[in-house]
Amino acid sequence: MTASTEGQHHLSADVLVVGFGKGGKTAARALGGTGKTVVLVEESARMYGGTCPNVGCVPSKGMVHHSRKRRPQDDPQRFYEQSVDKVQDVREFMRQGNYDGLTGLESVTVVTGKAVFTDPHTVAVSKADGGRLTVTAETVLVNTGSRPVVPDTPGLRASRFLLTSTELLESRHLPQRLAIIGGGYLGLEFAAIYQRFGSRVTMLARGERFLPRADADVAEAVRTILDGEGVTIVTGAQVREVRDGADDTTVVYDVGGTEHTLTVDAVLPATGRVPATDGLGLESAGVRTAKDGAIEVDEHLRTSQPHIFALGDVNGGPKFTYISLDDSRIVLDQLLGEGKRTTADRGAVPNTVFMTPPLATVGMTEQEARAAGRRIKVARENVEDILAMPRAYAVEETRGLMKFVLDADTDLILGAALLSVDAQELINTVTLAIRHRITATELRNTIYTHPSSTEAFNEVPRMIIHEDPPTEHH
């Protein structure tokens, strides 16, 4: 690695990583460990480690944990302030740990600043300290993540009461009334968190059907839980305008052509994220992007420039930290291995919404299996009825259900939805079963520890509530 002395500095490295996300940092550590020189450029010093430990998964799940601990006698505002402070302490610990983990490697240099491509191998960096730097590398990894979408609703972007998910998690003021625009998984998680902290939460979901990607019975079970927590859910809501007042703001929305208003202290748009590629100068690098800004990649995560790879949210794939991690495995196999690993190797990918209890899913829903023309069996049981799951009673959390979609001809597991205590852990066992073609009978007959939530698998897969008739052959 080389650098000049004064003025315009220059670094040459084997690998340049733009963005300190999960995939980028993992690849940087692995490549640096082999002796390759690596320069990692991160725009913000508070984002070492990427979205998850700083403004995403870790702080949000920390807030889930603390919200569950609030007692009726706790002052909501004071308890909330203390919770935010504790969560931010963990965030700072992880941020520093991520930074130290890379800078401790002699062959890795971390630069804090904004990187802009000037050609396919070079970026110009405007450093946080005011200096400028150029970095040239043979191989480039882009791992800049994604950013929240704020809809172009009249009055929303200019509202003093608008809070992104990042801002809401870091604010020490607990809103008494919170409006969440959007009925997706992010909105669900935040609704559950803030209702438990003491806010009055209203979700404004655009679709006529609540959680349209889930089966109707699963969506209804989720809604029953949120209703029981006190969350107000409005479906078919078309938000038209946000009007600020002196001390609060009014959200104007239509349902079935009738206008309604909702006055709140904070508005959270939970309407998705888009790849963070603005200002990267990708056109100067000859890197093609899609309409939403996502970097176009092949199955090996190579861009239109074969030496440039895109990892994580920025390539338009599933926006999960563990996908970014798996992206690093694919790229490292290209750079250090046999080059055989691809995105097609992933198979089933689990997902969890950390409401209380969590909703974890993997594979096909019942409606997706039917649309695919599969002959299926459906096994389902309410948690309160699962006698083989004493842990649910021991921890006093018997809400929810477990559902399996099975292939009626092969007994293979096509998909599952687990709305239960420990679902975020249980789903990983089901995912392995799907990937390794373990049948529902094998899953049911396996020996599990006791008392555990996994024991539910001894019972639920045999609770068949529906089986398609055999296909007639002529």
Count CB neighbours of 415 within 10 A: 21
Asked if 379 contacts 457 with a C-beta cutoff of 8 angstroms, the reply is no
- Active-site residue among 10, 173, 260, 450? 450
Q: Please tell me the predicted confidence (pLDDT) of residue 450.
A: 93
pLDDT number for residue 5: 34
Alpha carbon distance 430, 164 (integer Å): 34
Q: Give the pLDDT confidence score for residue 4 in this predicted structure.
A: 39
Q: Find out whether 22 and 324 touch, Cβ atoms under 8 Å.
A: yes
Which pLDDT score is estimated for 55?
A: 62
- The residues, any chain, with a CB within 8 Å of residue 118's CB and separated by 6 or more, are 124, 134, 281, 284
Alpha-helical (H) ranges within 316-417 are 321-335, 366-371, 390-394
- And the tokens for 283? 């056109």
Rounded to whole angstroms, how far apart are CA atoms 438 and 404?
Answer: 13
The per-residue pLDDT for 52 is 73
Q: Which residues of the chain have pLDDT under 50?
A: 2-7, 474
Q: Whole-angstrom Cα distance, residue 408 to residue 462?
A: 12
pLDDT score, position 1:
56
Largest CA distance in the chain: 83
**What is the pLDDT, as a whole number, of residue 373?**
94
Q: What is the full DSSP assignment across 94-115?
A: HHHHHHHHHHTSTTEEEEEEEE
Instruction: Give residue-wise pLDDT tens across range 386-432.
Output: 999 999 999 999 999 999 999 999 999 999 999 999 999 999 999 99
Structural domains for the chain: 9-147+274-345 (3.50.50.60), 165-271 (3.50.50.60), 351-464 (3.30.390.30)
Q: Which residues pair with 381 in a beta bridge?
A: 402
450 is catalytic: yes
Model-wide pTM > 0.85? yes
Q: For residue 61, what pLDDT is reported?
A: 86
User: Are 462 and 378 within 8 A, CB to CB?
Assistant: no
What is the spatial distance between Cα 47 and Cα 92, in angstroms, rounded to a whole number? 10
| Distance from C-alpha of 80 to C-alpha of 375, rounded to nearest angstrom | 49
